[in-house]
Amino acid sequence: MSIDMEQFHGVFFDESQEHLADMEQQLMELDLSEPDPEQLNSIFRAAHSIKGGSGIFGFDALTGLTHIMENLLDRARNNTIEMTTPIVDLLLETTDLLKVTLDNYRNQEEIEQADIDQGISKLNILMTSLEDSTAQNSSNTGDDGDNDENENNEGVSGDLDGFGFFDDEPSDAHTAQIDDDDEDGFGFFEQPPATASEPENDENQGFGFFDTTPTETPATNAGNSAINCDTAPPADESIDKGYGFFPENEHPKDDPSDNKKGYGFFEKLPLPNAKSKKTSAVKEPKKNAAKSSTAKASVESSSIRVDTGKIDSLVNLIGELVITQSMLSQVSSDMPGEPNEKLQNAIAELTRNTREIQESVMSMRMLPMHFTFNRFPRVVRDLSSKLGKKVDLVIEGGNTEIDKGMIEKLVDPLTHLVRNSIDHGIEKTEDRLALGKAEMGTVILKAEQKGSSIIISIIDDGAGLNRERILAKAQENGMSVDVDMPDSDVWKLIFEAGFSTAEAVTDVSGRGVGMDVVRRNLEAIGGRIEIESSQGEGSSFNIHLPLTLAIVDGICVSVASQTFVVPLVNIIESVQPDPSQMKLISNDKLLWIRDQYWPLVKLHQKMQIEGAITEPSRAIVMLIESSNKRFGLLVDGLMGQQQVVIKSLEQNYRRVEGVAGATIMGDGQVALILDVESLANSVKANGMSKESIL
């Protein structure tokens, strides 16, 4: 009789989270002087969806909050109240509260009932203050029955929110649907006997606790199946808005004019679902309904939720395929004779196909930067109002795609940098005016792809970094600095631990933890950060990231018979040094180039390889830059640039000093990927750090 509702919880949480994010974004974008009714609608729908879902699962705190939020929004979209900044503020606050509450439910933690009550009462107070004589709903405090009735009353006056309780009252369903052009119905389906027997359902509010698809009935509840079968088709028509509990059905955003959304509670049934919807559309006299349900049906099949684990294993397998393919082409190129030509053609075809497969599989892991960027309007808004600065956030390149794993890890560093720009970068309004700058400060958040890396920039038109202050602070902290240091080196100092030049510690920044963490976090995902700044004009933080975590761009180098891969991001240039450039310091060789002395790390020595070229002037020196050091890496020769798939050494073996991982070359051999950071550490061990030389 009963079905396990737990299985739907995860989906509900995921979706509610999306709805909340959507709501927040829409709230931020809302133009208060002339609110777009579609936007208000979609905010309303998001609140409505959460309310519906939480109602089903008995998450009362969510239901209570969203309910009153919904009432407020409903008035806003009916133009009975005007959206103002305080309202948006309160709504944003409420979304935050909802997020917290949602997380609490998800983690099965205690709900902060006091916060919820406070949130509800705040909304209520606002509602009351906005109250006009016609609306009687202000006294509602979350009692569902009452509210629904009220909403239905409203609906009579042109805009109805039907809660489809349509189990046993198909005629109601029809009524609701007929005099309605903007209806939000609910197709719930739960253990229905209780609800079905509730007398109040006979009122003109219906909660369709059965979903619209007739075929689902047997699975849900045998006891009610008879009713359901009878009522399902009309219910189907009457349900205008759906809660896709399964991804195929869920595209609330795709068609904003589309108020018809399906409630697909069962993944297996997208087809009948879509079909039944179409049927309903045919019966439906209204043209737009027919249009929207067709649109809906086509949208439903366009997205599918897949476990990331499956994608990851696919990515791994494709990696294998690429390796096998390159082995094959190597073998074929060694084969003589005429059949070889055909073979080579076939392999060329295979190469193209594998590359395409690889690209499309990789793209499955990619998400647009929107996912990270979308939170920043809020961050900037909150922070600028807190600091009393006027800041305009410009987001560019939100469509740039980046690996999913990186998206998550970028949030903290980016948040920090943006906060930093607003707190330290952008001047106070009066200072800006005094300097003849625009009153409104601008922070640009930009993502772009350049070659095989993604560059994310945080640009502000504020004061820029203060060279003197950084240098003074560095000296104070006992760092070895030079007044003639190039700007780029000075800027790097701010990434040192415990470095903050803020004159006062605020709760926003100034504690000196942060920039070093930013750098560490970025390095953990294979990125690096560069600063450009000019005093009085602003500064720009540029983050360079690899396209994905699974693949690294590297230069293959040879040492005797072995091959190593040096990550491209660390390489400045490669040179064949002239003997005159080689200097000696206590028997250690230094390379004098680019007006600097570079300590030399001999890779053959580090990797204990015999038979390598030991004389630098006959070998190649790669100038390598790690996060804190620069050195020259002595190798025998360069073999070319290549993208390599990173394999873990630790999976079957253990960590090896100086080695970040391994990869498999075209000939099936294993090549080690060098870990420049740990190689750099050995430079210090020899007392050859750059600082000591300068």
Partner 1 sequence: MNSNITQENMHAESNEFLSFFLGEEHYALDIMTVKEIRGYETVTKIANAPSFIKGVINLRGDIVPIIDLRIKFSVGEATYTEFTIVIMLNVCDRIVGIVVDGVSDVIKLQDEDIRPPPEFGVAFDSKYLLGLASLEEHMVILVNIESLISSDELGLFDNHATTKE
Q: Rounded to a whole number, what is the largest CA-CA distance in the chain?
A: 98
The 315-334 contact track toward partner 1, x by CB under 8 A, reads -x--xx--x-----------
What are the angstrom distances between the C-alpha of 617 and each of 563, 591, 610?
20, 10, 18
Residue 658 is a binding residue for partner 1 (CB under 8 A) = yes
Distance CA 526, CA 548 (A): 9
Q: Which stretch binds partner 1 (CB under 8 A): 198-206, 258-266, 395-403, 607-615?
A: 607-615
Q: Does 430 bind partner 1 (CB under 8 A)?
A: no
| Angle separating helix axes 37-57 and 6-29, nearest 10 degrees | 160
Q: Which of 606, 629, 630, 690 binds partner 1 (CB under 8 A)?
A: 606
- Alpha carbon distance 643, 657 (integer Å): 23
Q: In sequence order, what DSSP letters do the residues of 11-42 get, joined into one string? A: HHHHHHHHHHHHHHHHHHH--TTS--HHHHHH
Q: Residue from 623, 672, 676, 680 that binds partner 1 (CB under 8 A)?
A: 672
Comparing CB distances to partner 1, the nearer of 484 and 653 is 653
CB of 665 to partner 1, least distance (A): 9
The sheet that has 551-559: what strands, in order across it?
Answer: 637-645, 551-559, 562-567, 670-674, 659-664
- For residue 449, the surrounding DSSP H or E stretch is strand 441-450
* Using rule CB under 8 A, residue 226 touches partner 1: no
133 binds partner 1 (CB under 8 A): no
Write down the H helix ranges in 60-143: 60-77, 85-106, 113-130
Nearest approach in angstroms of CB 351 to partner 1 is 18
**CB nearer partner 1, residue 59 or residue 564:** 564
CB of 568 to partner 1, least distance (A): 21
The window from 96-104, 108-116, 605-613, 634-642 that contacts partner 1 (CB under 8 A) reads: 605-613
Alpha carbon distance 537, 534 (integer Å): 6
User: Which segment (264-272, 524-532, 606-614, 621-629) binds partner 1 by CB under 8 A?
Assistant: 606-614
Distance between CA 296 and CA 260 in Å, rounded?
A: 8
Closest-CA residue to 325 (of 304, 306, 344): 344
669 binds partner 1 (CB under 8 A): yes
The answer to whether 50 and 70 are in contact (CB under 8 A) is: no
Nearer Cβ to partner 1, position 380 or 565? Answer: 565
Is residue 33 near partner 1 by the rule CB under 8 A?
Answer: no
Residue 620 gets which letter from DSSP?
E
d(CA 153, CA 423): 49
Q: Does 653 bind partner 1 (CB under 8 A)?
A: yes
Residue carrying structure tokens 């600063």: 531
Based on CB atoms, which residue is closest to partner 1, 276 or 663? 663
Helix H or strand E segment including 543: strand 538-546
How many CB atoms are closer than 10 A to CB 568? 17
Taking CB under 8 A as the criterion, which residues in 539-568 touch partner 1?
562
Q: How far apart are CA 370 and CA 361, in angstroms?
A: 20
User: Which residues share a beta bridge with 602?
Assistant: 634
- Using the minimum distance from each CB to partner 1, give the nearer residue, 609 or 638: 609
Q: Are strands 562-567 and 670-674 parallel, antiparallel or unpaired?
A: parallel
**Cβ at position 687, least distance to partner 1 in Å:** 21
Q: Which residues on neighbouring strands pair with residue 156, listed in sequence order? A: none
Which of 164, 134, 158, 151 is closest to 68 using CA atoms?
Answer: 151
Residue 652 is a binding residue for partner 1 (CB under 8 A): yes
Is 654 an interacting residue with respect to partner 1 (CB under 8 A)? Answer: yes
Q: Is 50 in the site for partner 1 (CB under 8 A)?
A: no
CA distance 210 to 188: 5
Q: How far is the CB of 560 from partner 1 (least distance, A)?
A: 10
Residue 609 binding partner 1, by CB under 8 A = yes
Contact between 67 and partner 1 by CB under 8 A: the answer reads no
Kindly state whether residue 602 participates in binding partner 1, applying the rule CB under 8 A. Answer: no
Asked if 627 interacts with partner 1 (CB under 8 A), we say: no
Stretch that binds partner 1, among 79-87, 247-255, 299-307, 645-653 (CB under 8 A): 645-653
The residue among 2 and 651 lying less far from partner 1, judged by its C-beta, is 651
Which region, judged by CB under 8 A, interacts with partner 1, from 288-296, 421-429, 481-489, 642-650?
A: 642-650
30, 191, 192, 221, 686 from 166: Cα distances, Å = 35, 14, 11, 15, 80
Task: Tell me the closest approach of the beta carbon of residue 308 to partner 1, in angstroms.
Answer: 17
**Of 235 and 665, which has the nearer Cβ to partner 1?**
665
Phi, psi of 691 (to 5 degrees): -60, -40
Q: How far is the CB of 406 from partner 1 (least distance, A)?
A: 19
Segment near partner 1 (CB under 8 A), from 204-212, 268-276, 603-611, 623-631? Answer: 603-611
- Asked if 608 interacts with partner 1 (CB under 8 A), we say yes
Distance CA 552, CA 452 (A): 9
**Contact region for partner 1 (CB under 8 A) — 222-230, 259-267, 382-390, 656-664?**
656-664
Residues that bind partner 1 (CB under 8 A): 316, 319-320, 323, 562, 606-609, 647-659, 662, 664, 668-672
